[in-house]
C-alpha cells in the first residue's frame, strides 16, 4: 500500500501540534468541586475545558489544507451574577471569565497561547436547593469576546457563541452533594461558535481573514493554576508565586502555622493562643483579669476577693466602722449609727436618763436627778415634800408674805406665801 508524501507530512504536523498538556485530559477533564451557596451552586464556580475529542478550529481564510486547532478553557470568572429567570425557567448566571486558547497550526507552523476576555451568560433549568442530587438542563445563551487591539498575529480575533446569537448551545448539569458540604459538578455544553479573524501585517497570518463556524463540547472541571494569584479548584491559597516557606506552599496549600486571606493570598503567622499575662482578658480561657500578680488579680488571672460592706469583716482601711450593715447600730454603708448616751445633752428616758448634762448640782454623772436637801425656817424643819409648810416659832399674829427659795433640781423656783391667824 502506497501512502502519499502529503499524507505523511500531514501526520507529522498533527503529531507536533502545540496543545497545552495541562489543559487536555485523557478520558475527559476531572469533575469540578464547587462551594455550597444556599443549598446549591452555580456554573460560574467551575472552569470549563474542551473535551479531548473536540477543539476550537479556524479553517476558512487560511491556505487550503491548513487549519488552526485550539484547546480551549473558560476560567478565572469575575463579576459573577445570578438571578431568577432565563429561557429554561430557572436562573440566569453571568460572568466575565477568560477564554484560554492554546493554538497550533495544522499544515503550517503556528503556535500561540492567548487569554481572551469574554462575557458569558448561562441559563439553567429549575432545581430544588437543598436536595443532595440536583439534575437540570442548561444552555450557554451567550459567549462573546475578542483580543485587544495590538496583537502581533491578529488584527482581529473574535469568538461568538450561544443560543442567543442563533447558535444553539444546550447542556446538562448534575450536582452531587459531597460529605464536606461542597458540590461535585458534572456539567457540559455542546457549544456552537463562530470565530472571525484578520491576520496582522507582518505576521504569519498577514493578508488572511475569514470566519469559521463549528461545535465544541465544554465540560466543567477544576483547573489549578498555582501561582497566578487566583484561588482555583482545590487551592487553599495563591500568593502569586510557587515558593515555599512564605505561608503558601508551592502547591498553593496553606502551610502549617499560617493564615492566608484575600486574592492574591496574604499569609501571616497564626497568632499565639491567648495566655494569662497577654494583657487581654479572655473569658473563654477562664481568665477574669489582667495583668496577673496585682492586688486584685492573682498569678492565674483570677480576681482576688476584695473586702466589701456586708462581708461580715470590719475593714477600717475601706472606711468601715461596723458589720453587718442595715442594723439598728450599723447603716447600709457600714458606718455606725450614733447612739444616745449620758452627756449628749438630750434627756433620753428610754435609757433611764432623768437629766442632762451630767455632773451638775442637780444631775449626777449617770444623768440621774440629785434630790434637794431638807431646809429649816425659824428653827423648825420645813419639808419640801408638803404643799403646806408648817412654820413654828413665829410670834407675830399675822405673816403676810414669806418668800422662800428652795432649790429643787430641774423644778425651778418655788414661792411660798402663807398666812397664819392665831385665835
Span 117-149, pLDDT tens digits: 999 999 999 999 999 999 999 999 999 999 999
Q: 3-class SS at 361?
A: coil
pLDDT at 76: 87
- Lookup result for grid cell 439598728: 328
- Residue 122's CB is within 10 A of a number of other CB atoms, namely 28
Residue 247 banded pLDDT, cuts 50, 70, 90: very high
100-to-118, 223, 269, 282, 400 alpha-carbon distances in Å: 10, 12, 35, 51, 146
pLDDT (tens digit per residue) in 257-296: 899 999 899 999 988 888 999 899 999 989 999 999 998 9
Q: Which of 254, 124, 138 is nearest to 189 (CA)?
A: 138
pLDDT of residue 407: 38
Q: Is a pLDDT exceeding 60 seen at residue 391?
A: no
Whole-number Å distance between alpha carbons of 321 and 309: 10
At 377 the pLDDT is: 57
Beta bridge partners of 212: 195
Tens-place pLDDT, residues 194-215? 999 999 999 999 999 999 999 9
What is residue 250's predicted lDDT score, i.e. its pLDDT? 83
Q: How many helices (DSSP H) and strands (DSSP E) are in the chain?
A: 1, 17
Rounded Cα–Cα distance for residues 256 and 198 (Å) = 51
Spatial distance between the Cα atoms of 161 and 144, rounded to a whole number of angstroms = 6
Q: Catalogue the E-assigned strands of 35-97.
A: 47-50, 56-58, 67-75, 81-85, 90-95
C-alpha grid cell, residue 385: 415634800
> What is the domain partition of the chain in residue ranges?
5-221, 226-271, 274-304, 379-423
CB 100 within 8 A of CB 73: yes
pLDDT at 386: 44
* Reported pTM: 0.52
Residue 157's Cβ-count burial label (10 Å; 0-12, 13-18, 19+) is buried
- Predicted confidence at residue 95, as pLDDT, reads 96
Statement: residue 4 has pLDDT above 90: no
Report the pLDDT value the prediction gives residue 423, as an integer from 0 to 100.
Answer: 42
Average pLDDT, the chain: 83
Q: What is the pLDDT of residues 227-240, one digit of tens each?
A: 888 887 667 899 98
Question: In the predicted model, what is the mean pLDDT of residues 5-24?
Answer: 37
Is the model's pLDDT at 17 over the cut of 70?
no
| Alpha-carbon Rg for the chain in angstroms | 55
Three-class secondary structure of residue 251 per DSSP: coil
Amino acid at each position: 500500500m502506497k501512502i502519499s508524501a502529503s499524507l505523511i507530512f500531514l501526520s507529522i504536523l498533527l503529531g507536533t501540534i502545540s496543545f497545552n498538556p495541562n489543559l487536555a485530559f485523557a478520558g475527559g477533564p476531572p469533575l469540578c468541586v464547587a462551594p455550597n451557596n444556599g443549598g446549591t451552586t452555580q456554573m460560574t464556580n467551575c472552569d470549563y475545558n474542551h473535551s479531548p475529542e473536540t477543539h476550537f478550529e479556524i479553517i476558512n481564510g487560511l491556505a487550503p489544507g491548513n487549519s488552526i486547532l485550539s484547546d480551549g478553557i473558560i476560567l478565572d470568572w469575575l463579576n459573577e451574577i445570578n438571578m431568577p429567570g432565563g429561557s429554561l425557567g430557572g436562573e440566569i448566571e453571568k460572568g466575565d471569565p477568560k477564554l484560554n486558547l492554546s493554538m497550533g497550526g495544522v499544515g503550517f507552523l503556528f503556535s500561540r497561547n492567548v487569554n481572551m476576555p469574554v462575557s458569558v451568560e448561562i441559563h439553567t433549568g429549575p432545581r430544588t436547593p437543598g436536595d443532595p442530587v440536583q439534575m437540570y438542563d442548561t444552555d450557554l445563551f451567550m459567549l462573546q469576546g475578542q483580543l485587544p487591539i495590538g496583537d502581533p498575529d491578529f488584527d482581529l480575533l473574535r469568538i461568538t457563541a450561544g443560543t442567543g446569537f442563533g447558535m444553539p448551545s444546550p447542556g446538562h448539569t448534575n450536582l452531587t452533594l459531597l460529605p464536606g458540604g461542597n458540590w461535585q459538578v458534572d456539567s457540559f455544553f455542546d457549544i456552537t461558535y463562530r470565530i472571525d479573524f484578520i491576520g496582522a501585517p507582518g505576521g504569519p497570518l498577514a493578508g488572511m481573514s475569514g470566519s469559521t463556524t463549528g461545535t465544541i463540547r465544554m465540560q466543567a472541571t477544576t483547573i489549578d493554576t498555582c501561582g497566578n494569584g487566583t484561588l482555583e479548584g482545590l487551592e487553599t491559597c495563591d500568593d502569586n508565586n510557587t515558593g515555599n516557606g512564605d505561608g503558601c506552599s508551592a502547591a498553593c496549600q496553606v502551610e502549617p502555622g499560617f493564615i492566608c486571606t484575600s486574592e492574591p493570598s496574604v499569609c501571616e503567622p497564626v497568632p499565639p493562643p491567648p495566655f494569662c499575662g497577654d494583657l487581654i482578658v479572655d473569658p473563654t480561657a477562664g481568665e477574669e483579669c489582667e495583668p496577673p500578680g496585682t492586688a486584685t488579680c492573682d498569678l492565674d488571672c483570677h480576681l482576688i476577693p476584695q473586702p466589701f460592706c456586708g462581708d461580715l469583716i470590719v475593714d477600717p482601711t475601706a472606711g468601715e466602722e461596723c458589720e453587718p450593715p442595715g442594723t439598728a447600730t450599723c447603716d447600709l454603708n457600714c458606718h455606725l449609727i450614733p447612739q444616745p448616751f449620758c452627756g449628749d445633752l438630750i434627756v433620753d428616758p428610754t435609757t433611764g436618763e432623768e437629766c442632762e448634762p451630767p455632773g451638775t448640782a442637780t444631775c449626777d454623772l449617770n444623768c440621774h436627778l440629785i434630790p434637794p436637801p431638807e431646809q429649816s425656817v425659824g428653827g423648825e424643819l420645813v419639808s419640801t415634800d408638803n404643799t403646806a409648810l408648817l412654820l413654828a416659832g413665829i410670834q407675830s399674829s399675822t405673816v403676810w408674805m414669806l418668800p422662800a427659795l428652795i432649790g429643787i433640781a430641774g423644778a425651778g423656783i418655788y414661792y411660798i406665801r402663807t398666812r397664819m391667824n392665831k385665835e
